[in-house]
A and B are shown apart, each in its own frame.
Chain A
Amino acid sequence: MRCPSFEHLSRRALLKGTLATGAGGSLINWGSLFNSQVIANEVKKTQKRCILLWMNGGASQFETFDMKPGRPTGGLFRPISTNLAGVQVCELMPKISQCMDKLTVIRSMRTSQVDHPGGIHLMHTGYAQAAGIRFPEIGAVIAKYLGRDGSDLPNFIKIFSHGNTGAGFLGPKYQPFSLNPEGRLPTFSTSSLKPEIESRRNSLRNFVEDIYARRHKAETVRMHREAYEAARRLQNVQSVFKIDNEWEKYRDLYGDSAFGRRCLMARRLIEEGVPFVEVGQSSYDSHADNFVWHRALVPPMEHAWAGLMADLEQRGLLEHTLVVWMGEIGRTPKVNNRSGRDHYVRSWSTALAGCGVKGGVVYGESDKDGVDVKDNPVTEGDFFATIYQALGIDPDTEHYNGVRPIPIAPFGSSVVQDVLV
């Protein structure tokens, strides 16, 4: 059998072609569409996907990517040089300082929601909260466009998640599957039945469903069955979520932290073809003792992040996997009288790496005290448009909520072309 190159074929085109010419096997099972495991593996490898590293509470740009040494706003930590000439980052990030050739850092974020609920919503959806609309999170949008129908694993997985609108109006098919901070599965995801009992119960149910489907042709019935099948298939792949053995081997690479373990889980899921995984780390809301908090939080985070990038790269996955680093807000230039920094969205930082984005780029600049963006401001809409573009999803793609068209990146957003490959 000849192995064609899949570089030029979109997943959709490939799927269509295979459906038209295939031997008519079960359409439910992605794997059986391919009569060669080699091809299947190749597709799995080149499929685009995304990991969101979510810094809940809002990590400080001054204690990560946008140092202001010697300025009144600079804080306690020193800058260190990186593997990118002339670019410095915070001393709390020695490992990330050596990954700067792979990162695009945006130092000119300017967003619109300064409180946590508003910011968490904004930076998960691209939109400010509105009374009548449940906007979908980025994970749901990516699940819709990069997800695989009939996959065993859910297409939108969160580990210690902080977003709160889930699939929004995209509907239950794109709801997140949320693991807790320790990586345990959500309630009701594991069958307690003995396999032989589950199996006979399932065959009785199939008998009932077949009879119903003979006379009721409405598409809703088919969709209901497919969702049931997906819930069953999840039972077959639960070993993917058990990472104890692998953790022993990777503990040093990711660093011995809860966040590191979550990042290893994310890599495993991504490798299995899950198109979107969000990994959360909490407690950046440092209104008091900002420096103490960042000293505690940033080192394990950056260790895990650097380990994740190395692991993805070593497996050939980094070029197909976009790694997004952000929280919902940045922090104030002014250090308050409790040694804290408060909420700030006029000028702050985020970072991207991997699929579709350049490495070794620092985009935008804040002014000398980090009070305002000096050039190239990036709004939340621009940021989301750039992420979608990097993943090959047209940011102008529209969904409908009732009769209202809603593009996946807000109307008027611009892709930051300078950071894309």
Chain B
Amino acid sequence: MARLTTPPLRFNMSPVWLSRRFLLIALAGVLSPAVAVHSEDSLRASIDRHISNTWKSNQLTPAEQSADAEFLRRVYLDLVGTIPTYDAAVTFLDDNSPDKRERLIDRLLDDPGFARHQAEVWDQVLFGRNPPGHGTDKRQGFQTWLREQFVANTPYDQWVKAILVAEGNTVENGAPMFFVQYRNQPEEATEAVTQKFLGVQLQCARCHDHPFEPWTQLDFFGTAAFFARLKVVDAGKKDKLTMYVIGEKNTGDILFTGPVTEQEVGKKGQPVIPKFLHGDVLVEPELPDDFKEDRNFPNGKMPPKPRFSRKDQLAEWITQPDNPYFVRAVVNRVWAQFMGRGIVHPVDNMSEANAPSHPELLNELSATMVDRKFDLKWYIRELVNSRTYQLSGHGPVEEAMPFHFERARTRPLTAEELLDTWNVATGYEAIQQTSGAKPSTDRYAPLGSGYLVRFFGTPSNGVGDFQGGLHEHLYLNNGGISKLLSSAKGGLYDHLMNSEAPWEERVDRLYVSMLTRRPTTEERKRFVAYFTAESNPRTRIGEAIWVLMTCSESRFNH
């Protein structure tokens, strides 16, 4: 396996920058992925070695290995965004072969649901629940394109580069939609690109030099200068959607006026030359003296390419393998997606003031990812095959995302995962498929995105931790999900109501369908009693399904 050397951290040696040299050297120590890679090991074994070393040094007892059922539900939700059907669950639980977990993982990684789910996860990383508008709420073109990248397992660096180069239009090509969010807002684009793809937070340096990180306002505006000439052009309609194109002018600069607190009305700023973060300034060819630029890109037409594209230069620099920020940002982000906390946490704040919990592991993950040419599917396969990922969620630790990964993390399901889980669990999806009805084009059928996204869209306290709210329970308690409790043939309700099997078996069916596990004796007894307390169990069946749809065990992936 190749060894990665310290990437050259280039900096301009002018006196202005010399004063920061000390900081940069310190940062290089944090960022360099140059460590020995254990080539004889699989990455999964290496992960477990690093993690268990810190258990030892902190005298922690990790949770036991997850039970099959616990693992089954967890890995389904993480890889394909839903739970297994009753049949799929029983098949796995009754399988006695020792390699069944690895085979299940392989199968799920090749399932169409994998690409769909991972694309949804990244769509949220790139846009979030409240994108800044400008047509980004209708971004099916982007979403389809992103899903195709996961279907083809396009290397991560390549699809990110496509987003940053932003060729084509938003309906037919998808990728340009990312920049449409930041129409005429190069500063917003700067914050987003550095945070999402490089894992660093420059936004403080927008108004003042960062108080305790090595970011200056000129780092911020040096990056913003790459976006200063971008224009969102409306190139016509297709399928009732506007085709946006990202055009780039030949002239135009970001003007720098100093710290915000020293701003004065009417003060003119200095044009800022584009500069790579902690790197060189961009060398641009000079425009001819008689160069005259058209004032605007007319709507309805593809804008011409610029003579020299700043944006393409930045895209190239960001995604090159020896960019220390880029690879670490992605391995850390995907780690957190499956393991809970990032090794650097929060994942988009990599800095010397926010040290990694397992620095050697992070170095190794980064080096291996470069070596594997940014193959996300390979990386995810290693993560979920690790012992660390497959620990039980039981135990005394109260943190949702334990610092030392000594217990599986608990995370809330997304709005999409909840819906898909309920659709599978209640048999609603199966009923629709067998009914011969035309499948709905609404991603959120039958409940609708309005309620789901409103009540389950952002269950967070602002710094990434789960926070419960009254409204989601009012929705669940008072009728919001009743559409899913269909009594049609083939659904769970119908089975419980009309099966001739003993109640004990029907309760087993209920538990496996809803929670992907068999009930304990205690649970079986309680539910049988609930169903048989009256001669007609009709309403009680609906109540029991509701209980298992809304309980904590359903709400979280654990």
> Which residues of A come within 8 Å of B, CB atoms?
131-132, 134, 154, 168-173, 175, 177, 186, 188-192, 197, 200-201, 204-205, 207-209, 211-213, 215-221, 223-228, 230-232, 234, 399-404, 412
Residues of chain B within 8 A (CB-CB) of A170 are 461-462
Max count, chain B CB within 10 A of own CB: residue among A191, A217, A401: A217
Contacting B201 at CB < 8 Å: which of A186, A402, A412?
Answer: A402
Contacting B553 at CB < 8 Å: which of A212, A234, A402?
Answer: A212
In the bound complex, CA of A345 to CA of B539 (Å): 59
CB distance from B550 to the nearest CB of A (A): 7
Contacting B522 at CB < 8 Å: which of A168, A211, A404?
Answer: A211
The reply to whether A197 and B543 form a contact with Cβ atoms under 8 Å apart is yes
11 residue pairs of the A-B complex, CB under 8 angstroms, read A134-B130, A169-B462, A171-B462, A172-B469, A173-B468, A175-B471, A188-B474, A204-B547, A220-B466, A224-B468, A403-B349
Residues of chain A within 8 A (CB-CB) of B526 are 204, 207
Contacting B394 at CB < 8 Å: which of A171, A215, A402?
Answer: A215
The reply to whether A217 and B469 form a contact with Cβ atoms under 8 Å apart is no
In the bound complex, CA of A107 to CA of B188 (Å): 36
The reply to whether B192 and A218 form a contact with Cβ atoms under 8 Å apart is no
Q: Given contacts A132-B188, A188-B475, is CB(A171)–CB(B461) below 8 Å? A: yes
Contacting A218 at CB < 8 Å: which of B398, B461, B527?
Answer: B398
Q: Given contacts A215-B394, A216-B394, is CB(A172)–CB(B477) below 8 Å? A: no
Contacting B400 at CB < 8 Å: which of A200, A220, A399, A400?
Answer: A220
B346 located at the interface, meaning its Cβ lies under 8 Å from any Cβ of chain A in the complex = yes
In the bound complex, CA of A168 to CA of B398 (Å): 26
B410 located at the interface, meaning its Cβ lies under 8 Å from any Cβ of chain A in the complex = yes
B395 located at the interface, meaning its Cβ lies under 8 Å from any Cβ of chain A in the complex = yes
In the bound complex, CA of A131 to CA of B460 (Å): 18
CB distance from B405 to the nearest CB of A (A): 14
B23 located at the interface, meaning its Cβ lies under 8 Å from any Cβ of chain A in the complex = no
Residues of chain A within 8 A (CB-CB) of B548 are 208
Q: Given contacts A131-B132, A208-B553, A221-B410, is CB(A177)–CB(B203) below 8 Å? A: no
Contacting A217 at CB < 8 Å: which of B396, B523, B553?
Answer: B396
The reply to whether A402 and B349 form a contact with Cβ atoms under 8 Å apart is yes
CB distance from A269 to the nearest CB of B (A): 15
Contacting A171 at CB < 8 Å: which of B182, B354, B469, B523?
Answer: B469
Q: Given contacts A170-B462, A402-B463, A403-B346, is CB(A216)–CB(B393) below 8 Å? A: yes
The reply to whether B475 and A227 form a contact with Cβ atoms under 8 Å apart is no
- CB proximity to A under 8 Å, residues B513-543: 520, 522-523, 526-527, 530, 539, 543
B253 located at the interface, meaning its Cβ lies under 8 Å from any Cβ of chain A in the complex = no
Closest to A228 in B: B473
Q: Lowest 4 CB-CB distances: which A-B pairs, in order? A: A172-B469, A227-B468, A169-B462, A231-B473
In the bound complex, CA of A30 to CA of B191 (Å): 43
In the bound complex, CA of A412 to CA of B263 (Å): 14
CB distance from A147 to the nearest CB of B (A): 12
CB distance from A116 to the nearest CB of B (A): 16
The reply to whether A404 and B552 form a contact with Cβ atoms under 8 Å apart is no
In the bound complex, CA of A234 to CA of B487 (Å): 30
Closest to A221 in B: B552
Residues of chain B within 8 A (CB-CB) of A211 are 520, 522-523
The reply to whether A227 and B552 form a contact with Cβ atoms under 8 Å apart is no
B556 located at the interface, meaning its Cβ lies under 8 Å from any Cβ of chain A in the complex = yes
Closest to B467 in A: A171
In the bound complex, CA of A223 to CA of B479 (Å): 22
The reply to whether B547 and A208 form a contact with Cβ atoms under 8 Å apart is yes
CB distance from A175 to the nearest CB of B (A): 6
B55 located at the interface, meaning its Cβ lies under 8 Å from any Cβ of chain A in the complex = no
The reply to whether B182 and A131 form a contact with Cβ atoms under 8 Å apart is yes
Residues of chain A within 8 A (CB-CB) of B460 are 169, 171
Residues of chain A within 8 A (CB-CB) of B468 are 172-173, 220, 223-228
In the bound complex, CA of A77 to CA of B53 (Å): 80
Interface string of B167-192 (1 = CB under 8 A from A): 00000000000000110010010011
Q: Given contacts A400-B462, A403-B349, A404-B203, is CB(A131)–CB(B547) below 8 Å? A: no
In the bound complex, CA of A152 to CA of B157 (Å): 52
Residues of chain A within 8 A (CB-CB) of B480 are 188
Interface string of B451-473 (1 = CB under 8 A from A): 00000001111111111111111
Max count, chain A CB within 10 A of own CB: residue among B188, B261, B550: B550
The reply to whether B398 and A205 form a contact with Cβ atoms under 8 Å apart is no
The reply to whether A223 and B201 form a contact with Cβ atoms under 8 Å apart is no
The reply to whether A205 and B394 form a contact with Cβ atoms under 8 Å apart is no
Contacting B470 at CB < 8 Å: which of A197, A205, A230?
Answer: A230
The reply to whether A232 and B462 form a contact with Cβ atoms under 8 Å apart is no
CB distance from A266 to the nearest CB of B (A): 19
Closest to B203 in A: A404
Residues of chain B within 8 A (CB-CB) of A171 are 458-462, 467, 469
In the bound complex, CA of A169 to CA of B130 (Å): 12
Known: A170-B461, A223-B468. 7 other contacts (CB 8 A): A168-B462, A204-B527, A211-B523, A218-B393, A218-B558, A220-B412, A231-B477
B90 located at the interface, meaning its Cβ lies under 8 Å from any Cβ of chain A in the complex = no
Residues of chain A within 8 A (CB-CB) of B503 are none
Contacting B466 at CB < 8 Å: which of A208, A223, A399?
Answer: A223
Closest to B544 in A: A204
Closest to B530 in A: A204
B397 located at the interface, meaning its Cβ lies under 8 Å from any Cβ of chain A in the complex = yes
Q: Given contacts A171-B462, A223-B468, A227-B470, is CB(A205)–CB(B204) below 8 Å? A: no
The reply to whether A191 and B477 form a contact with Cβ atoms under 8 Å apart is yes
In the bound complex, CA of A201 to CA of B462 (Å): 33
In the bound complex, CA of A134 to CA of B461 (Å): 11
Max count, chain A CB within 10 A of own CB: residue among B188, B397, B467, B546: B467
Residues of chain A within 8 A (CB-CB) of B520 are 211
In the bound complex, CA of A201 to CA of B478 (Å): 12
Closest to A189 in B: B474
In the bound complex, CA of A215 to CA of B354 (Å): 32
B399 located at the interface, meaning its Cβ lies under 8 Å from any Cβ of chain A in the complex = yes
Closest to A172 in B: B469
- CB proximity to A under 8 Å, residues B388-420: 393-400, 410, 412
Residues of chain A within 8 A (CB-CB) of B234 are none
CB distance from B135 to the nearest CB of A (A): 14
CB distance from B293 to the nearest CB of A (A): 28
In the bound complex, CA of A234 to CA of B477 (Å): 12
B348 located at the interface, meaning its Cβ lies under 8 Å from any Cβ of chain A in the complex = yes
In the bound complex, CA of A264 to CA of B495 (Å): 52
In the bound complex, CA of A204 to CA of B469 (Å): 21
Contacting A401 at CB < 8 Å: which of B396, B462, B470, B558?
Answer: B462
The reply to whether A231 and B474 form a contact with Cβ atoms under 8 Å apart is yes
In the bound complex, CA of A217 to CA of B463 (Å): 21
Residues of chain B within 8 A (CB-CB) of A234 are 470, 474
The reply to whether B551 and A208 form a contact with Cβ atoms under 8 Å apart is yes
The reply to whether B399 and A219 form a contact with Cβ atoms under 8 Å apart is yes
CB distance from A398 to the nearest CB of B (A): 11
In the bound complex, CA of A197 to CA of B462 (Å): 37
Residues of chain A within 8 A (CB-CB) of B473 are 227-228, 230-232
Closest to B395 in A: A217
The reply to whether A219 and B400 form a contact with Cβ atoms under 8 Å apart is yes
The reply to whether B470 and A213 form a contact with Cβ atoms under 8 Å apart is no
Interface string of B251-288 (1 = CB under 8 A from A): 00000000001000000000000000000000000000
The reply to whether B478 and A192 form a contact with Cβ atoms under 8 Å apart is yes
Contacting A204 at CB < 8 Å: which of B181, B396, B458, B543?
Answer: B543
B555 located at the interface, meaning its Cβ lies under 8 Å from any Cβ of chain A in the complex = yes
Residues of chain A within 8 A (CB-CB) of B393 are 216, 218
CB distance from A409 to the nearest CB of B (A): 17
Residues of chain A within 8 A (CB-CB) of B188 are 131-132
Max count, chain B CB within 10 A of own CB: residue among A170, A186, A231, A232: A231
Residues of chain A within 8 A (CB-CB) of B348 are 402
Q: Given contacts A171-B459, A208-B553, A216-B393, is CB(A404)–CB(B201) below 8 Å? A: yes
CB distance from B66 to the nearest CB of A (A): 12
CB distance from A204 to the nearest CB of B (A): 5
Max count, chain B CB within 10 A of own CB: residue among A197, A201, A209, A226: A201
